[in-house]
Amino acid sequence: MNGPGFQQDAKDANPYFALTDEFNQDRIRTILTSGQACVYYRLAFQSKDGDWLMNLDQGDMDHVLSVLSSHGARFRVGSVPLSVKWHDGGWSSHLEFSRGSERLRTDFVGRPPRIADGRLMAMWREIHRAAAPVTDILDLIQIKKTQREKDWPIIGSLSARLQDPKDVLLHSTSPTRLLAFAADHPELLEELARQRPLLLATTSGSADVVRREIMTERMAAMDADRHRMRIYAHAMRDWQQAWKAFAPTVTAMPTLEANQFLEEQAHGILPTHPQ
Protein backbone atom coordinates (compact mmCIF):
# COMPACT_ATOMS: atom_id res chain seq x y z
CA MET A 1 0.00 0.00 0.00
CA ASN A 2 1.24 3.47 -0.83
CA GLY A 3 1.03 5.96 2.01
CA PRO A 4 0.45 5.55 5.74
CA GLY A 5 -1.25 2.58 7.29
CA PHE A 6 -1.87 0.96 10.67
CA GLN A 7 0.41 -1.42 12.50
CA GLN A 8 -0.78 -5.03 12.57
CA ASP A 9 -1.37 -5.04 16.33
CA ALA A 10 -3.57 -1.95 16.00
CA LYS A 11 -5.55 -3.58 13.19
CA ASP A 12 -5.97 -6.75 15.23
CA ALA A 13 -7.37 -4.72 18.12
CA ASN A 14 -9.59 -2.42 16.09
CA PRO A 15 -11.62 -3.64 13.09
CA TYR A 16 -12.11 -0.07 11.85
CA PHE A 17 -8.34 0.41 11.56
CA ALA A 18 -8.12 -2.82 9.56
CA LEU A 19 -11.03 -1.73 7.37
CA THR A 20 -9.29 1.59 6.67
CA ASP A 21 -6.28 -0.25 5.28
CA GLU A 22 -8.58 -2.33 3.09
CA PHE A 23 -10.17 0.85 1.73
CA ASN A 24 -6.73 2.32 1.11
CA GLN A 25 -5.18 -0.62 -0.68
CA ASP A 26 -2.78 0.75 -3.33
CA ARG A 27 -3.69 4.40 -2.64
CA ILE A 28 -5.21 6.65 0.01
CA ARG A 29 -8.95 6.85 -0.57
CA THR A 30 -10.25 7.41 2.95
CA ILE A 31 -9.14 9.23 6.10
CA LEU A 32 -10.39 7.97 9.44
CA THR A 33 -12.13 10.68 11.42
CA SER A 34 -14.51 11.51 14.28
CA GLY A 35 -14.94 8.84 16.97
CA GLN A 36 -12.36 6.37 15.67
CA ALA A 37 -9.86 9.22 15.25
CA CYS A 38 -10.41 9.92 18.97
CA VAL A 39 -9.68 6.24 19.65
CA TYR A 40 -6.48 6.58 17.61
CA TYR A 41 -5.43 9.59 19.69
CA ARG A 42 -6.36 7.63 22.83
CA LEU A 43 -9.00 10.10 23.89
CA ALA A 44 -11.62 7.35 23.82
CA PHE A 45 -11.42 3.64 24.51
CA GLN A 46 -13.83 2.74 21.74
CA SER A 47 -16.41 4.13 19.33
CA LYS A 48 -19.50 2.29 18.17
CA ASP A 49 -19.00 3.08 14.49
CA GLY A 50 -16.44 4.18 11.93
CA ASP A 51 -16.37 7.54 10.15
CA TRP A 52 -14.23 8.33 7.14
CA LEU A 53 -13.52 11.30 4.94
CA MET A 54 -14.04 9.99 1.42
CA ASN A 55 -12.02 11.19 -1.54
CA LEU A 56 -14.32 12.83 -4.08
CA ASP A 57 -13.44 10.40 -6.85
CA GLN A 58 -16.01 7.89 -8.10
CA GLY A 59 -13.37 5.27 -8.77
CA ASP A 60 -12.24 5.50 -5.15
CA MET A 61 -15.84 5.29 -3.99
CA ASP A 62 -16.42 2.21 -6.13
CA HIS A 63 -13.36 0.55 -4.60
CA VAL A 64 -14.69 1.23 -1.09
CA LEU A 65 -18.06 -0.18 -2.14
CA SER A 66 -16.32 -3.31 -3.44
CA VAL A 67 -14.57 -3.78 -0.10
CA LEU A 68 -17.85 -3.33 1.74
CA SER A 69 -19.56 -5.72 -0.67
CA SER A 70 -16.97 -8.39 0.15
CA HIS A 71 -18.09 -8.07 3.77
CA GLY A 72 -21.78 -8.29 2.87
CA ALA A 73 -22.52 -4.66 3.76
CA ARG A 74 -25.98 -3.17 3.31
CA PHE A 75 -27.08 0.46 3.20
CA ARG A 76 -28.76 1.72 6.32
CA VAL A 77 -32.28 3.07 5.92
CA GLY A 78 -32.26 6.70 4.75
CA SER A 79 -28.69 6.67 3.43
CA VAL A 80 -27.75 8.55 0.28
CA PRO A 81 -25.72 6.78 -2.41
CA LEU A 82 -21.94 6.75 -2.17
CA SER A 83 -21.67 9.01 -5.19
CA VAL A 84 -19.53 12.06 -5.97
CA LYS A 85 -22.65 13.87 -7.18
CA TRP A 86 -24.19 13.93 -3.70
CA HIS A 87 -21.06 13.85 -1.57
CA ASP A 88 -19.83 16.99 -3.30
CA GLY A 89 -22.89 18.66 -1.78
CA GLY A 90 -22.01 17.61 1.77
CA TRP A 91 -24.19 14.51 2.08
CA SER A 92 -23.00 11.34 3.82
CA SER A 93 -23.52 7.62 3.23
CA HIS A 94 -24.17 4.97 5.87
CA LEU A 95 -23.74 1.21 5.62
CA GLU A 96 -23.28 -1.68 8.03
CA PHE A 97 -22.34 -5.35 8.13
CA SER A 98 -21.93 -8.10 10.68
CA ARG A 99 -18.71 -9.87 11.51
CA GLY A 100 -19.33 -12.68 13.96
CA SER A 101 -21.14 -11.11 16.89
CA GLU A 102 -20.01 -7.59 15.90
CA ARG A 103 -22.03 -5.11 13.89
CA LEU A 104 -19.74 -2.70 12.07
CA ARG A 105 -21.28 0.62 11.06
CA THR A 106 -19.54 2.67 8.38
CA ASP A 107 -20.17 6.36 7.62
CA PHE A 108 -18.59 8.38 4.79
CA VAL A 109 -18.55 12.09 3.97
CA GLY A 110 -16.79 13.82 1.10
CA ARG A 111 -17.04 17.42 2.31
CA PRO A 112 -16.87 17.49 6.11
CA PRO A 113 -18.57 20.44 7.81
CA ARG A 114 -16.46 23.42 8.85
CA ILE A 115 -13.54 22.40 6.62
CA ALA A 116 -12.99 24.93 3.83
CA ASP A 117 -12.34 23.68 0.30
CA GLY A 118 -8.71 24.80 0.33
CA ARG A 119 -8.05 23.09 3.63
CA LEU A 120 -9.75 19.91 2.40
CA MET A 121 -7.43 19.79 -0.60
CA ALA A 122 -4.44 20.30 1.68
CA MET A 123 -5.59 17.46 3.94
CA TRP A 124 -5.46 15.02 1.05
CA ARG A 125 -1.97 16.22 0.09
CA GLU A 126 -0.66 16.06 3.65
CA ILE A 127 -2.09 12.67 4.60
CA HIS A 128 0.68 10.86 2.71
CA ARG A 129 3.20 12.23 5.22
CA ALA A 130 1.13 11.28 8.28
CA ALA A 131 1.87 8.32 10.55
CA ALA A 132 -1.57 6.87 9.77
CA PRO A 133 -4.55 7.91 7.59
CA VAL A 134 -6.27 9.76 10.43
CA THR A 135 -7.61 13.33 10.57
CA ASP A 136 -5.07 15.57 12.30
CA ILE A 137 -5.89 17.28 15.58
CA LEU A 138 -6.59 20.77 14.24
CA ASP A 139 -9.02 19.48 11.61
CA LEU A 140 -10.62 17.09 14.06
CA ILE A 141 -11.32 20.03 16.40
CA GLN A 142 -13.27 21.74 13.61
CA ILE A 143 -15.18 18.58 12.69
CA LYS A 144 -16.16 18.07 16.34
CA LYS A 145 -17.75 21.52 16.68
CA THR A 146 -21.24 20.08 16.51
CA GLN A 147 -24.51 20.71 18.32
CA ARG A 148 -23.85 17.66 20.52
CA GLU A 149 -22.76 18.40 24.07
CA LYS A 150 -20.63 15.25 24.21
CA ASP A 151 -18.30 16.54 21.48
CA TRP A 152 -17.12 19.59 23.40
CA PRO A 153 -15.11 17.82 26.12
CA ILE A 154 -13.34 16.02 23.26
CA ILE A 155 -12.47 19.40 21.73
CA GLY A 156 -11.00 20.43 25.08
CA SER A 157 -8.88 17.27 25.24
CA LEU A 158 -7.71 17.70 21.66
CA SER A 159 -6.78 21.34 22.15
CA ALA A 160 -4.86 20.46 25.32
CA ARG A 161 -2.39 18.60 23.10
CA LEU A 162 -1.55 21.69 21.06
CA GLN A 163 1.81 23.32 21.72
CA ASP A 164 2.27 25.97 19.04
CA PRO A 165 1.24 29.33 20.60
CA LYS A 166 -0.84 30.32 17.59
CA ASP A 167 -2.72 26.99 17.61
CA VAL A 168 -3.31 27.21 21.35
CA LEU A 169 -4.68 30.75 21.15
CA LEU A 170 -6.96 29.90 18.24
CA HIS A 171 -8.33 26.63 19.57
CA SER A 172 -7.88 26.16 23.31
CA THR A 173 -11.00 25.99 25.47
CA SER A 174 -9.08 26.37 28.72
CA PRO A 175 -9.35 29.87 30.28
CA THR A 176 -6.15 29.44 32.29
CA ARG A 177 -4.19 28.24 29.28
CA LEU A 178 -5.48 31.07 27.12
CA LEU A 179 -4.53 33.63 29.75
CA ALA A 180 -1.05 32.15 30.13
CA PHE A 181 -0.35 32.02 26.39
CA ALA A 182 -1.80 35.47 25.83
CA ALA A 183 0.51 36.86 28.51
CA ASP A 184 3.52 35.09 27.00
CA HIS A 185 2.71 36.06 23.39
CA PRO A 186 1.06 39.50 23.39
CA GLU A 187 2.34 40.14 19.87
CA LEU A 188 -0.09 37.50 18.56
CA LEU A 189 -3.23 38.85 20.16
CA GLU A 190 -4.09 41.64 17.73
CA GLU A 191 -3.54 39.40 14.70
CA LEU A 192 -5.40 36.37 16.05
CA ALA A 193 -8.27 38.30 17.63
CA ARG A 194 -9.51 39.01 14.10
CA GLN A 195 -10.04 35.26 13.75
CA ARG A 196 -11.11 34.61 17.34
CA PRO A 197 -12.60 37.71 19.01
CA LEU A 198 -12.79 36.13 22.46
CA LEU A 199 -9.00 36.56 22.72
CA LEU A 200 -9.65 40.21 23.51
CA ALA A 201 -11.15 39.01 26.79
CA THR A 202 -7.72 37.78 27.91
CA THR A 203 -6.66 41.41 28.42
CA SER A 204 -9.00 41.46 31.43
CA GLY A 205 -6.76 38.96 33.20
CA SER A 206 -9.89 37.26 34.54
CA ALA A 207 -10.50 33.54 34.03
CA ASP A 208 -14.20 34.05 34.68
CA VAL A 209 -14.47 36.65 31.92
CA VAL A 210 -12.63 34.38 29.46
CA ARG A 211 -14.75 31.40 30.50
CA ARG A 212 -17.95 33.30 29.69
CA GLU A 213 -16.60 34.22 26.27
CA ILE A 214 -15.65 30.60 25.61
CA MET A 215 -19.20 29.54 26.44
CA THR A 216 -20.62 32.22 24.13
CA GLU A 217 -18.36 31.02 21.33
CA ARG A 218 -19.41 27.42 21.96
CA MET A 219 -23.13 28.26 21.89
CA ALA A 220 -22.70 30.12 18.60
CA ALA A 221 -20.93 27.09 17.06
CA MET A 222 -23.66 24.75 18.28
CA ASP A 223 -26.36 27.03 16.85
CA ALA A 224 -24.54 27.15 13.50
CA ASP A 225 -24.42 23.36 13.37
CA ARG A 226 -28.11 23.11 14.25
CA HIS A 227 -28.91 25.48 11.39
CA ARG A 228 -26.80 23.41 8.98
CA MET A 229 -28.48 20.18 10.06
CA ARG A 230 -31.96 21.71 9.67
CA ILE A 231 -31.16 22.54 6.05
CA TYR A 232 -30.16 18.94 5.33
CA ALA A 233 -33.10 17.52 7.28
CA HIS A 234 -35.52 19.65 5.26
CA ALA A 235 -33.85 18.69 1.98
CA MET A 236 -34.14 14.96 2.64
CA ARG A 237 -37.79 14.77 3.74
CA ASP A 238 -38.97 13.42 0.37
CA TRP A 239 -36.00 11.06 0.27
CA GLN A 240 -36.89 9.59 3.64
CA GLN A 241 -40.46 9.02 2.47
CA ALA A 242 -39.21 7.32 -0.69
CA TRP A 243 -36.95 5.07 1.37
CA LYS A 244 -39.96 3.70 3.23
CA ALA A 245 -41.32 2.37 -0.04
CA PHE A 246 -38.16 0.75 -1.40
CA ALA A 247 -36.41 -0.22 1.86
CA PRO A 248 -37.23 -3.95 1.65
CA THR A 249 -35.85 -4.03 -1.89
CA VAL A 250 -32.64 -2.06 -1.42
CA THR A 251 -31.64 -3.57 1.93
CA ALA A 252 -31.73 -7.02 0.31
CA MET A 253 -29.53 -5.99 -2.63
CA PRO A 254 -25.76 -6.56 -2.86
CA THR A 255 -23.82 -3.39 -2.07
CA LEU A 256 -22.85 -2.31 -5.59
CA GLU A 257 -26.30 -3.00 -7.01
CA ALA A 258 -27.92 -1.17 -4.11
CA ASN A 259 -25.73 1.89 -4.66
CA GLN A 260 -26.71 2.05 -8.33
CA PHE A 261 -30.37 1.67 -7.36
CA LEU A 262 -30.09 4.51 -4.84
CA GLU A 263 -28.49 6.78 -7.43
CA GLU A 264 -31.36 6.13 -9.84
CA GLN A 265 -33.96 6.78 -7.15
CA ALA A 266 -32.27 9.91 -5.82
CA HIS A 267 -32.52 11.81 -9.10
CA GLY A 268 -35.34 14.30 -8.83
CA ILE A 269 -35.93 13.54 -5.15
CA LEU A 270 -32.74 14.35 -3.27
CA PRO A 271 -31.09 17.71 -4.07
CA THR A 272 -27.34 17.41 -4.52
CA HIS A 273 -26.56 20.77 -2.89
CA PRO A 274 -29.13 21.71 -0.20
CA GLN A 275 -29.80 25.43 0.24
**Are 202 and 257 within one domain?**
no
Evaluate whether residue 2 is within a structural domain. no
**Are 85 and 114 within one domain?**
yes
**Are 52 and 110 within one domain?**
yes
* Beta-sheet pairing, 92-99 with 74-75: antiparallel
Evaluate whether residue 228 is within a structural domain. yes
**What is the model's pLDDT at position 119?**
97
Evaluate whether residue 272 is within a structural domain. no
**Are 69 and 85 within one domain?**
yes
Evaluate whether residue 1 is within a structural domain. no
Q: Cα 90 to chain center, whole Å? A: 11
> How far, in Å, are 41, 71, 136 from residue 14 at the CA level?
13, 16, 19
Distance CA 86, CA 235 (A): 12
**Are 24 and 54 within one domain?**
yes
**What is the model's pLDDT at position 108?**
98
Full domain range(s) for residue 193 = 144-233
Distance CA 166, CA 230 (A): 33
Which segments of the chain have a pLDDT < 70?
1-2
**Are 217 and 254 within one domain?**
no
Distance CA 109, CA 82 (A): 9
Evaluate whether residue 215 is within a structural domain. yes
**What is the model's pLDDT at position 239?**
97
**Are 197 and 211 within one domain?**
yes
Could you tell me the CATH number of the domain that includes residue 91?
A: 3.30.460
Evaluate whether residue 193 is within a structural domain. yes
**Are 54 and 166 within one domain?**
no
**Are 128 and 31 within one domain?**
yes
**Are 65 and 161 within one domain?**
no
Q: What is the dihedral of CA 248, 101, 62, 124, to 10 degrees?
A: 130
> What stretches of the chain adopt beta strand conformation (E)?
30-33, 50-54, 74-75, 92-99, 102-109
Evaluate whether residue 81 is within a structural domain. yes
| Number of domains, the chain | 2
Tens digit of each residue's pLDDT (9 = 90 or more) over 9-51: 888 789 999 999 999 999 999 999 999 999 999 997 777 889 9
* Beta-sheet pairing, 102-109 with 50-54: parallel
Nearest to 108, CA basis, from 148, 154, 67: 67
This prediction's pTM: 0.93
**Are 178 and 259 within one domain?**
no
**What is the model's pLDDT at position 2?**
64
**Are 133 and 244 within one domain?**
yes
Evaluate whether residue 273 is within a structural domain. no
